[in-house]
Amino acid sequence: AFKPYGSPPRFDLDEYKDSFELWHQQWKIFLALSTIDSVLEDDERPAYKTNILLSCLSKETLQAVMSMGLTDAQMGDHEVVIQKLRERCNAGRNRNVWRQQFALSKQRANEAADNWLCDLRDLARKCEFATDCCANCQPTRILGQVVYGVYDDEIRRKLLERGATLTLDQAIDILRVAEAASQQATNLKTGDAAAI
């Protein structure tokens, strides 16, 4: 009997309600690594994928799926089930609400630049900026938010000094260098030479 490589990612509606795409990416990676598409016959794959998907749902999530009013054919199609889960996770979510959260996002005191940037990128993805104009819209918005929301005023001045030529990559480099320099200065001041 066929046994896929690895374990499918567990899914719970409450746990992934704000990060469905993260789980979905894990699911796609599992499918790619599992060799299901190369080992099983074409006619066996859909039912196998659906059963694996349903088996990785939490009890509460499986109950929710079974209560969605899906036909037997829909219930037997893992892509339909995934789409219904996506819709359920996004129910009540509104990109305008995400955009408000994005616009208010500021780096907290002592928050690592990379952690803040990860949060900003996640919010930007939920904001769907690319649907407004083009692929350049999201990096431009993130750059603007970095300049606005960076905690340290001295770093903000450095970013603003670059003017219109500042790119997101340059801004990230400036944040990282400033953070590293600040940490090194603290280590020198406290005599922690090993951490330098």
The two tokens of residue 93 are: 């979510």
Q: Which of 75, 71, 123 is nearest to 99 (CA)?
A: 123
Q: What is the count of structural domains for the chain?
A: 2
**Domain end marker among 90, 106, 141:** 90
Do 119 and 28 lie in a common domain? no
pLDDT value for 168? 96
pLDDT at 104: 94
Where does a domain end: 90, 125, 150? 90
3, part of any domain: no
Shared domain check, 139 and 116:
yes
Helix (H, G, I), strand (E, B) or coil at 55: helix
Amino acid at 121: R
Establish if 171 belongs to a structural domain: yes
Percentages of the chain per state (helix, strand, coil), in multiples of 5: 70, 0, 30
102 shares its domain with 66: no
**Boundary of a domain, candidates 27, 55, 90:** 90
Domain boundaries, position 44 = 13-90
- For residues 77 and 45, give the distance between their C-alpha atoms in angstroms, rounded to a whole number: 10
Residues 127 and 120: their CA atoms lie apart, in Å, by 10
- Same domain? For 115 and 52 the reply is no
Classify residue 7: in a domain, yes or no: no
How far, in Å, CA of 177 to CA of 155, rounded?
Answer: 10
For each of the chain's 196 residues, which pLDDT tens digit applies? 567 778 899 999 988 887 888 899 999 999 888 888 888 888 888 999 999 999 999 999 999 999 999 999 999 999 999 999 988 887 666 788 888 989 999 999 999 999 999 999 988 888 888 777 776 788 999 999 999 999 999 999 999 999 999 999 999 999 999 999 998 988 888 887 666 5
Give the other-Cβ count within 10 Å of 82's Cβ.
19
